[in-house]
Structure 1
Amino acid sequence: MTKKMSGMKVKLYIYRQGTGRVLAGQRNASLGRSAESIDATSKDTEGFWNESLPGFKSYTIDADGAYVESDAAYEELETAFLNSENVDVYLEMPSGKRYEGNCTITDFSLDLPYDDLVTYSISLQGNGSLKIILESNQTEAITSNEVEV
């Protein structure tokens, strides 16, 4: 039987100057990965079926949570957004497996209801490759062409 995982312990970190800071108050996060396809269909294609080749890949990270005013990671995101700078981030699984990359902040919202918690939401668009780092070898990054467990 395979072990199921709860998302409660998956955290988003902002990485700067050798230190990863967890984004406080985080409730939800999602990692979206997609790939374009290149149409390779030709007159030689067998049986009237389309043929395709893998194209460029991209990723996004979306997160939301309860706003914590004194959070250093949130302050780093806010500064990067205001200065039009990219940020280094990673999502860490309970096992220690990490998904990390450099991202552009594409949406950074605060919800300020009069009768509830102040909450934030953020959308990050990957800039370059998404690296997968496994717990067993934290120093070796796995790129799109390598997978080791």
Structure 2
Amino acid sequence: MSITSLPINPNKASATLGKDYLLSVNTGTNDVPVWSQVGGQRNTSLNKSAEEIDGSDKTTGGWKITKAGLRSWSMELESVVVLDDKGADAIDYAFENGVEINCRVEYPNGNVFEGWGSVTECSIEAPHDDVATISATINGNGPLQKIKAGEAAE
């Protein structure tokens, strides 16, 4: 008799896996985007922050009051070099030519954070005893748009 199913662990974790978060760049046009994933991704980060504005005064009882000021975002990437990779080629092109790039990070549930940014760091490391890797930083220019799974971008 062959096994056709197994029980499902009722104590499964709800954590998501980092390998399922992927950075892509638009290698198409504004009207017809073509999202090219950067190949060989090892680490992908989406960073959001706000400048800290001190709102403290003499009446705050000696406690600092902080307000969020100007917001910013960045995407960082470390990837194994994959030759003829459209996504990585687009990042390199944007850096070399000083042009902005349309990029996105897609979550495993299909949600996307998308925006325009400038490639402010783009490097390759090629050690003699390991694979060649690229790393890049894209600093956002303007807002980061959240697109929920199944919704179209505005």
Partner residue in 2 for 1:147: none
Partner residue in 2 for 1:83: 97
Partner residue in 2 for 1:39: 54
Q: 2:21 aligns with which of 10, 13, 17?
A: 10
Percent identity of equivalent pairs: 29
Q: 1:109 aligns with which of 95, 116, 123?
A: 123
Name the amino acid aligned to 2:62.
Answer: F
State the SS of the aligned residue for 2:93.
Answer: helix
> Distance in 2 between the 1:53 and 1:7 partners?
31
Unaligned runs of 5+ in 2: 1-10
State the SS of the aligned residue for 1:59.
Answer: strand
Q: Is the 8 A contact 2:94 2:118 kept in 1?
A: no
> Distance in 1 between the 2:78 and 2:101 partners?
17
State the SS of the aligned residue for 1:48.
Answer: coil
Q: Greater strand share, 1 or 2?
A: 1
Q: CA offset at residue 100 of structure 1? A: 1.0
What is the CA deviation profile of residues 30-89 of structure 1, one whole-angstrom value per residue up to 9, with x for unaligned ones?
11111112222234x242323232211111111111101111111111111111111010
Query: In the alignment, is residue 63 of structure 1 matched against residue 77 of structure 2?
Result: yes
TM, length-normalised to structure 2: 0.82
Unaligned runs of 5+ in 1: 142-149
TM, length-normalised to structure 1: 0.85
> Distance in 2 between the 1:100 and 1:25 partners?
20
What is the CA deviation profile of residues 75-124 of structure 1, one whole-angstrom value per residue up to 9, with x for unaligned ones?
11111111111101000011001111111111101011123211111111
> Distance in 1 between the 2:63 and 2:88 partners?
49
Q: CA offset at residue 27 of structure 1? A: 0.9
State the SS of the aligned residue for 2:16.
Answer: coil
Partner residue in 2 for 1:146: none
RMSD: 1.7
